[in-house]
Amino acid sequence: MNTRRDFLQILAASAATLPFLPLSGLANDLSKVDQSYDGPVLRVAIMGLGGYGSRVAEAMKACTKAVLAGVISGTPSKIKNWQAKYNIPEKNCYSYENFDAIKNNPDIDAVYVITPNALHHDQVIRVAKAGKHVICEKPMALNAKEGEEMVDACKKANVKLLVGYRMHFEPKTLEVIRMRNSGEFGKIMFFQGQCGFNIGDPNQWRLNKQLAGGGSLMDIGIYAINGSRYMVGEDPIWVTAQETKTQPERFKEGVDETVQFQLGFPGGAIASCLSTYAMNHLDRFFLTGEKGFAELQPSTGYGPIKGRTHKGELTQPHSTHQTIQMEEMADIILSGKSPVVPVNGEEAVKDLKIIDAIYLAAKTGKRVTI
């Protein structure tokens, strides 16, 4: 595995051979790098160069253990723009049709899949077959069956499969988890998760059943699902759910607008959660136990996260979530580090099983065992 210093030397040499790349920009980027770190570096190709892919790329500028080494896109103009902006050599650029060729590219260790939900399954399996580690955005798949197939494919290929659970590394969130683990809240009784916003462009892929696999639950509701698990510290054993649709002309068949769901946990705690594409100002987690409480509001946005407990305000400093995530994921892949809260494919399958159960409960009106 190349070290950080090795990569930077190769990057500078590659950029020097490409006259259209701004070498002054490269010098500025290199000046921001922690030159004291010379350990292993995870060389990442981003697949899907949309808004969130750009956010991850910008955040990675501050990483010391992970670097942007390649791009995969279906839009040639985006590839050219990213080459110029991030000094990416031509040999590390691929389309959706030919990216299997990364198998023969030693400059790429992992691919971060940031494409519409319905594409994850096949793309992750192709990356695994090419022998590269995979980071996949959430939800990892459209359902638990797809997720299990992705996990199996990565195990068969002997590559790691991680999922973009950035909140698992967020300092205030981790402090709440620490307090719960140490018993400071006592027996956990109740969790509430509210996640939603008024979605914009009606033509975006998130409102396309074939690409998104659903609606608000798949996109924003998964934060409440996953959050209920890491806040309570258990996996739910049953779910009930109700779907409300006030704008059927906007939210077509199979694209949920608002879903309320309730979860039951083996220790006796219950959760009440809301996922919506029709209301703003909903980004709040609340946890209460016999001895105390914790509240995060905002709880899952890009930050800064704000929170308080029965002991007072949470004061952990804010850092860019995607920077922390990529640094931690580099440690997981390169050094086998175990995070406080898992971010592997198996963790994602647990969320997908809950999503499957929520949709079934909303459809049937019955309690569904998980």
Q: Do 79 and 175 share a domain, yes or no?
A: no
Q: Residue 258: enclosing H or E segment and its boundaries?
A: strand 258-264
* Residue 119 included in any domain: yes
CATH code, 198: 3.30.360.10
Query: Do 173 and 148 share a structural domain?
Result: no
Whether residue 153 sits in one domain with residue 171: no
Among 143, 165, 187, identify where a domain stops. 165
Catalytic residue, from 132, 138, 160, 350: name it. 138
Last residue of a domain, one of 165, 181, 209: 165
Question: From the CB of residue 25, how many other CB atoms can be counted at a distance below 10 Å?
Answer: 14
The tens-digit pLDDT sequence of the chain (370 residues) is 566 656 555 555 554 444 444 333 333 343 344 557 889 999 999 999 999 999 999 999 999 999 999 999 999 999 999 999 999 999 999 999 999 999 999 999 999 999 999 999 999 999 999 999 999 999 999 999 999 999 999 999 999 999 999 999 999 999 999 999 999 999 999 999 999 999 999 999 999 999 999 999 999 999 999 999 999 999 999 999 999 999 999 999 999 999 999 999 999 999 999 999 999 999 999 999 999 999 999 999 998 999 999 999 999 999 999 999 999 999 999 999 999 999 999 999 999 999 999 999 999 999 999 9
Instruction: Classify residue 146: in a domain, yes or no.
Output: yes
Does residue 153 lie in a domain region?
A: yes
In 3D space, the residue among 117, 121, 123 whose CA is nearest the CA of residue 52 turns out to be 117
Domain's final residue, options 165, 192, 210? 165
Helix (H) or strand (E) holding 176: helix 171-181
Same structural domain for residues 139 and 216? no
43 and 186, same domain (yes or no): no
Closest to 147 in 3D by CA, of 369, 350, 358 = 350
Is 145 inside a domain boundary? Answer: yes
184 and 260 in a single domain? The answer is yes
The one catalytic residue in 223, 230, 277, 359 is 223
Residues paired with 90 in a beta bridge: none
Name the nearest CA neighbour of 141 among 164, 162, 118. Answer: 118
* 331 lies in some domain: no
Contacts of 283 (CB under 8 A, 6+ apart): 194, 195, 196, 297, 298, 299, 300, 301
Same-domain pairing of 97 and 189: no
Provide the CATH number for the domain around residue 102. 3.40.50.720
Q: Is 302 a catalytic residue?
A: no
Q: Is 94 a catalytic site residue? A: no
- Same domain for 38 and 106? yes
Domain count, the chain: 2
Structural domain for 209, as ranges: 167-318+344-369
Is 324 a domain residue? no
119 and 210: one domain? no
126 with 174, same domain? no
Answer yes or no: is 328 within a domain. no
Residues 248 and 105 in one domain: no
**What pTM does this model have?**
0.91
Is 66 found in the same domain as 98? Answer: yes
Q: For residue 333, tell me if it sits in a domain.
A: no
Give the bridge partners for 196, in sequence order: 276, 282
